[in-house]
Amino acid sequence: MSGIDVRAADVFEDVRAVLGPKQETSSNCFCLSYRIGSKENQALRGPARFERVRGLCAEDPPPGVLAYDGAEPVGWAAIHPRADTSFATNRRIPHVDDHVEPWSLWCVRVRPGHRKQGISHHLVAGAVRFARANGASVVEAYPVDNQGAKVDLTMAYVGTRALFERAGFEYVMDTKSVLNGFTRVLMRYTT
């Protein structure tokens, strides 16, 4: 799977192809739940939600990275400075220190039909490169520590401890957040 290219998620239609619902009337996640405030996230419906994501894709930096197989977008990773996400005030996922402004990597998604091909590994590595290129010295992730057990597909977006360990992230601590019955751990990668 060496033909995978990971680059900034600055093309809305490509982000939509990976994350978006088919109908603009839908209010699916669109990976906004950690990126914007809870009140705004709950209030955004239909076309307004699409326009909010379109706006994020136009920002510098955009809201994450996309993996491409040729011209086709096949995966997504949400990454942004923690201070600009809901992780900045999240009581269940603690801050490690006040001397470093980490970037948060909180969602890895591969499109159906492209899973089990190693794309998530490309996405994590590409997200780290993206953060480094935008000035990050530390990247945090908050995956589940499933110890090899199956994770429900709807909750797999946070990734697993093993995925991030393979990418060079180091375990820092358990968090108070639990997803699908598994504790989420805080892991860090120093760029």
In the numeric block, which tokens belong to residue 69? 């197989």
* pLDDT per residue as tens digits for the range 110-122: 999 999 999 999 9
* pLDDT per residue as tens digits for the range 128-141: 999 999 999 999 99
Cβ-contact 140, 101 below 8 angstroms: no
Higher pLDDT, 27 or 52: 52
Q: By C-alpha distance, which of 105, 125, 113, 108 is closest to 4? A: 125
Q: Whole-angstrom Cα distance, residue 37 to residue 29? A: 13
CA distances from 32 to 35, 43, 62, 86, 111 (A): 5, 12, 13, 10, 18
For residues 155-160, give the mean pLDDT: 92
DSSP code, position 92: S
**Given this model, what pLDDT does residue 79 score?**
98
Cβ-contact 138, 130 below 8 angstroms: no
For residues 94-109, give the mean pLDDT: 92
Helical packing angle, 46-58 and 12-19, nearest 10°:
130
Q: How confident is the model at residue 1 (pLDDT cuts 50, 70, 90)?
A: very low
Q: Whole-angstrom Cα distance, residue 183 to residue 97? A: 21
> Distance between alpha carbon 158 and the CA centroid of its chain, in Å?
7
Q: What is the CA radius of gyration of the chain?
A: 16
The amino acid at 16: R
CA distances from 3 to 13, 62, 74, 122 (A): 21, 23, 12, 10
